[in-house]
Amino acid sequence: MSKLPQISEAEFEVMKIIWKHAPISTNEITDKLLQTTNWSPKTIQTLIKRLVTKGALTYEKDCRVFVYTPVVKESEYIGQESNSFLERYYDGDITAMLSAYIESGKLSETEISTLRSLLSKSSKKGGK
């Protein structure tokens, strides 16, 4: 997988809307973000333009309306960011990361149960 563009936290908020609703127009993106942020429409347009420049989005012009589609898949981006976080803070050791979360009490019993289930499925498939 090639290196994906660096996306700021604000740009990530825009991407979440686009991933969920694509293809989506500038006005629709703006309307949805105005419900959850205090950003101005101009700020939102600037963020969209940055994402196009970075290669995270593509667009088509339909009459006078720009319609955006993600170039970057959400799962790929989140996977890259997760790997980066794991490398940066835990030297790539996922066991150390999970231990830190469990010991700090940040995982609920439901989350721990879900992790057990995922690990059980993985071992049945012949995972690492």
Examine the pLDDT at 105 and tell me if it is beyond 80: yes
pLDDT band at 127 (very low <50, low <70, confident <90, very high): low
In the structure, what pLDDT confidence band is assigned to residue 112 with cuts at 50, 70 and 90? confident
Convert 53-80 to b/e letters by CB count within 10 Å (16 or more is b): ebebbebeeeeeebebebebeeeebeeb
- Our CA angle for 88, 72, 111, nearest 5°, is 55
Q: Which CATH number fits domain 74-124: 2.40.480, 1.10.4040, 3.30.70, 2.40.160?
A: 1.10.4040
Residue 1, pLDDT > 50, answer no
Domain ranges of the chain: 9-70, 74-124
How would residue 28 be classed by pLDDT, with cut points 50, 70 and 90? very high
What are the respective helix, strand and coil percentages of the chain, to the nearest 5?
60, 10, 25
- Identify the architecture of domain 9-70 in CATH: Orthogonal Bundle (1.10)
8 A C-beta contact, residue 11 and residue 48:
no
pLDDT tens digits for range 38-56: 999 999 999 999 999 999 9
Identify which has the larger pLDDT, 3 or 37: 37
The tokens 């009459």 sit on which residue? 63
Residue range 109-117: mean pLDDT, rounded: 90
